[in-house]
Amino acid sequence: MSGGDGIILGETGTQRLVGYALDVGQPDRRARCRLVVDDRHTNRHGVLHGGIAAMLLDSAAGATASLTLDDTGRRPFLTVSLNTDFIGAGRPGGVTATGRIIGGGRSLLFVAAELVHDDGTLIATATGVFKRVPGGAP
Going from N- to C-terminal start, the domains of the chain cover 2-132
The answer to whether 13 touches 50, Cβ cutoff 8 Å, is no
CA–CA distance, 76 with 107 (Å, rounded to integer): 12
Q: What is the CATH number of domain 2-132?
A: 3.10.129.10
Averaged pLDDT for residues 120-129: 98
CB atoms within 10 A of CB 14: 11
| Residue 14 vs residues 31, 63, 80, 82, 110: alpha-carbon distances, Å | 17, 14, 19, 18, 23
Task: Identify the band that residue 136 occupies on the pLDDT scale cut at 50, 70 and 90.
Answer: low
Neighbours of 43 (CB within 10 A): 12
Q: Are 77 and 36 in contact (CB under 8 A)?
A: no
Tell whether the torsion through CA atoms of 44, 45, 51 and 53 is positive or negative. Answer: positive
Given a cut of 80, whether residue 4 has pLDDT beyond it is no
5 vs 15, higher pLDDT: 15
pLDDT of residue 5: 85
* pLDDT value at 134 more than 90: no
- pTM, two decimal places: 0.93
pLDDT digits (tens, 9 = 90+) for 84-97: 999 999 999 999 99
